Amino acid sequence: MTVAPHPALSANLATPTQAPAQRDDAPIELSTLRLPTPPVPPDTCVIDVAQLFLDANYAGLLSLPIVAADGAPVGMISRYELMRVFLQPYGRELFGRRPISVLMNHAPLVLSVETSIGDAARAIAQHIRSPITDDFVLVENGRYVGTALVLDVLRAVEGRLADRSTELERAYVRLKSSQAQLVQSEKMASLGQMVAGLVHEINTPLGYVRNNVEMTRGVLADASQLIVAQQAALDALLGGDVVADAQARLDEVETLRLRVDPAALDDTAALLDDTLHGVGQIGDLVINLKDFSRLDQAGAQKADLNHLVASALKIANHILRKRGIEVVHQPGELPPVECAPAQINQVLLNLLTNAAQAIEHERGRIVVATRAVEGRAMVLIQDNGKGIAAENQARIFDPFFTTKPVGEGTGMGLAISRQIIEQHGGAIRMTSSVGQGTRFVVVLPLRAVVREAA
């Protein structure tokens, strides 16, 4: 025996739902999960409905929709409920000929086809009890248009979640690479400033080295002429040449001797010492710059923190000197610190540059001290600059926070410094009072676990 669907409904149910093309960002709607289950009229008798559950058309459905002649869903009947009734003594005899409306669930879950999958999942969670015995009814403008399975909603939600997490993963990768670029460009910017300063720093010794060499060359040229003349005169005398010739040569020696100032000759020794000193200075700067910019030191290694501090001070020297700042360097006893030296250099240079830039008066002073405290190394950088206003103190580590004019500040120095120090398992702290100065303390564990750089 078969139960024909309502004539009024059959038009609606003629074609199975085609999933509308989804835009990536559009919420998936329930319409994509619609099953065109032919509905059952409420006066169908119980036995006939039980028969329907055996029909291949309804296989896989937990429950059947009961729909009134006007298309309004009025209930659902589940396999579970029919089984329960038929298992009772005389259940079949008592209920078999009665209309299904006496057994059906009068308050099934009814959702509009336009409901998003997310909202449907929420409604299901609130409405449906365990064990799950019912699926749910779909309506359009209040009229029955099909059913949908709880399981399908679950699958759709799961698919959506998977999509989201790949999306998130992609966004994370993009974010990470742009962050890496930022770190790199801040490093380039601070190196750029440093290099401009270093050019001055190298130019000064280079200037006097050149000067000394030129002076020495002049003196040496005269001296060697004198030596040649003396040699010739001596040869003439010893060789018993004509006396007049020997006299002429001695005269020549005499004029040359007047040109060569013995004091100038003595000076050349000092000039050469000075020159060596200048060349040494240039060499130092070059080595420091090389140390500083070495990207191959990105990995962790045991390093002498005092050496890193000294190197950063040397690199920052021109900024400090230009502002007439006195540096009080107090290196303490420190065991080797496991760290990425190039990164720590960057932090130290950021802190020194900030300190120097904060000093706007004549008696600038920066104290740089290191100390070992309970298995940790500490670097203190304290300035007597203008300090940090209370309302800014919480923001100085924020990326792009700067109080400096464009070109002088990027606002990335402290953000990057903190990231580097935290990646080393350390901490960076600041105390400041306006008009008095600012103190930064960097604490590093001696055995740092340097996490993957951002």
Ligand X SMILES: Nc1ncnc2c1ncn2[C@@H]1O[C@H](COP(=O)(O)OP(=O)(O)O)[C@@H](O)[C@H]1O
Q: Which residues bind Mg ion (CB under 5 A)?
A: 354, 413
- Closest CB to Mg ion among 346 and 354? 354
- Pick from 31, 350, 384, 423: which binds ligand X (CB under 6 A)? 350
Q: How far is the CB of 329 from Mg ion (least distance, A)?
A: 21
Task: Please choose which of ligand X, Mg ion, none residue 396 contacts, taking the beta carbon within 5 to 8 angstroms, the exact cut-off set by kind.
Answer: ligand X
What is the Cα–Cα distance from 365 to 383, expressed in whole angstroms? 6
Q: Which is nearer to ligand X, 186 or 201 (CB)?
A: 186
Nearest Cα to 135, choosing from 55, 73, 85, 42? Answer: 73
CA distances from 188 to 181, 192, 353 (A): 10, 6, 14
Q: In 323-450, which residue ranges form alpha helices assigned H by DSSP?
A: 341-358, 390-393, 413-423
Identify the bridge partners of residue 64 per DSSP, sorted by sequence position: 77
CA distance 179 to 307: 29
Residue 378 carries which DSSP code?
E
The amino acid present at 139, given as its one-letter code, is V
Position of minimal CB gap to ligand X: 413
Give the span between the Cα atoms of 53 and 55, in whole angstroms: 5
Token pair 């409901």: residue: 115
Amino acid identity of residue 190, one-letter, is S
Pick one of 51, 105, 193, 402: the residue that binds ligand X (CB under 6 A): 402
Binding residues among 405-424 for ligand X as defined by CB under 6 A:
409-415
Residue 23: other Cβ atoms inside 10 A: 7
Kindly state whether residue 347 participates in binding ligand X, applying the rule CB under 6 A.
no
Asked if 326 and 382 count as a contact pair (C-beta separation under 8 A), the reply is: no
Question: Residue by residue, what is the 3-state secondary structure of 187-249?
Answer: HHHHHHHHHHHHHHHHHHHHHHHHHHHHHHHHHHHHHHHHHHHHHHHHHHHHCCCCHHHHHHH
- φ, ψ of residue 385 to 5 degrees: the values are -85, -160
- Which one of residues 208, 401, 427, 441 is an interface residue with ligand X (CB under 6 A)? 401
Q: By C-beta, is 6 or 386 nearer to Mg ion?
A: 386
Cβ-based nearer residue to ligand X, 103 or 381: 381
Nearer to ligand X, 319 or 358 (CB): 358
Binding mask 370-389 for ligand X (x = CB under 6 A): -------------x-x-xx-
CB of 134 to ligand X, least distance (A): 60
* Residue 395 DSSP code: T
Of the candidates 436, 425, 442, the one whose C-alpha atom is nearest the C-alpha of residue 369 is 442
Q: Facing residues of 72 across strands?
A: none
What is the bridge-based pairing of β-strands 427-433 and 110-112?
Answer: unpaired
Closest approach of ligand X to the CB of residue 401, in Å: 5
Residue 71 near which of ligand X, Mg ion, none (CB within 5-8 Å, type-dependent): none
Contacts to ligand X from residues 353-372, by CB under 6 A: 354-355, 358
Which of 194-202, 272-280, 308-316, 401-409 is the region at the interface with ligand X (rule: CB under 6 A)?
Answer: 401-409
Residues touching ligand X, count (CB under 6 A): 21
Considering the complex, state which of residue 73 and residue 437 has its C-beta at the smaller distance from ligand X.
437
Report the partner that residue 135 touches, choosing among ligand X, Mg ion, none (CB closer than 5 to 8 A by kind): none
Binding mask 421-450 for ligand X (x = CB under 6 A): -----------------x------------
Binding residues for ligand X (CB under 6 A): 350, 354-355, 358, 383, 385, 387-388, 396, 401-404, 409-415, 438
